[in-house]
Structure 1
Amino acid sequence: RQVTDGEADLALGRRRPQGRGAWPLHARAGNLALSRMLRTRTGVQLRDLGPMRAARREVLLSLGLTDRRSGYPLEMVVRAADAGWRIAESDVPYLPRTGKSKVTGTWLGTWQAVADMRAVLGGAVAR
């Protein structure tokens, strides 16, 4: 709603776990660390780099996002912040998964996500 109402250029959903096992502890810890690094890099006060987001298509395409793996959500926020976008966050209910995560469900997935996000924060061109 924040985007359609003109209050924000990019809106992110802050996950609020509903029920046991909705968001594993290691994933929460990683998200907390990433949120702090993002805040240091951009000044944007986000508490969650969650998967739920909204933006207008035309302006989103103008960001020139290139990452096609785990760095994509982070790249979107970093480039939006660098472009001076108004970024907002709203609480959304987060339920337990029905399947296994490709990212936080395996060591390889977690390692790839860390590498992708490190490249984005370091300013490297993502894959």
Structure 2
Amino acid sequence: MIDVVLPCLNEAEALPWVLERMPDGYRPIVVDNGSTDGSDRVAAAHGALVVREPRRGFGAACHAGLLAAGRSAEPVDGAAEVICFMDADASLDPRQLPLVAEPVVAGESDLVLGRRVAAERGAWPLHARLGNAVLARRLRRGAGVAVRDLGPMRACRRTALVGLELADRRFGYPLEMVLRAAAAGWRVTEVDVRYLPRAGRSKVTGTVRGTLRAVADMRAVLAEHGQGQRTTIPA
């Protein structure tokens, strides 16, 4: 069984589609981060393990899901040790999870990122796409990580990720994961996944406040890892 962590803040509209498309052998762990729209009830009704994380922050939700997977983990044997992350807003199709998980299961990669390819016009706003490209270029040049996207659909081994001791609990969590993985000598690769128009409004690039908060978080993580202070909008 492969666990799939889905950080969630008011995604009741999207969750049915996401959870109904979860592949066999993949267990969804929905981490409710203070939703007020009944997301936790929707998730439970669709068979997900629901974890409640009262501390607000994307990284806090991701880390709570990681720890929950560890507490309920099956005996370690190949796929049982692999964990995936993906957004719960229906912008990513769970049926593509095997694309990112299988290279880890096979021992071909240590961290696989899903490189987003827009499925239709408007799925990925231009300013977000350009900002993400700049950030990916900084990772290639500064950290030697050959990626083109800081993709939110990703897979790695659970105990190895716990060992990286990620500290960020905000929007810098995905970036810190890649930086720490590279520093630890992990094989970081990427595969293409379809990127769809999300359900509802984005909490990051869809609002000025969300964008500024994400920029500040990314800058802090880059500075801590010696990558300088300049960055731009993450996707």
Instruction: Note whether the superposition's TM-score is higher than 0.5.
Output: yes
Deviations 1:46-105 (A, max 9, x none): 000010110110000000011111100000000000000000100001111111111101
User: Does structure 1 residue 81 correspond to structure 2 residue 186?
Assistant: no
- Preserved CA contact (<8 Å) 1:3 1:55: yes
State the SS of the aligned residue for 1:11.
Answer: strand
Q: What is aligned with 1:99? A: 200
Structure 2 stretches lacking a partner, 5+ long: 1-101, 226-235
Following the alignment from structure 1 to structure 2, what is the Cα–Cα distance between the partners of residues 45 and 118?
Answer: 20
Pairing partner for 1:36 from 137, 141, 159: 137
Q: What is aligned with 2:64? A: none
Deviating 4+ runs (over 3 angstroms): none
Alignment of 1:1-127 (within 5 A): 1-123=102-224
How many residues are matched?
A: 124
Between 1 and 2, higher relative CO (CA 8 Å, sep ≥ 6) is seen in: 1
Following the alignment from structure 1 to structure 2, what is the Cα–Cα distance between the partners of residues 123 and 40?
Answer: 17
Q: CA RMSD in A?
A: 0.9
Please say which structure displays the higher CA radius of gyration: 2
Structure 1 stretches lacking a partner, 5+ long: none
- Preserved CA contact (<8 Å) 1:41 1:121: no
Identity over aligned pairs, percent: 65
- Preserved CA contact (<8 Å) 1:74 1:117: yes
State the SS of the aligned residue for 1:122.
Answer: helix
Q: Which moved more, 1:11-20 or 1:35-44?
A: 35-44
State the SS of the aligned residue for 1:13.
Answer: strand
- Preserved CA contact (<8 Å) 1:12 1:89: yes
State the SS of the aligned residue for 1:3.
Answer: helix
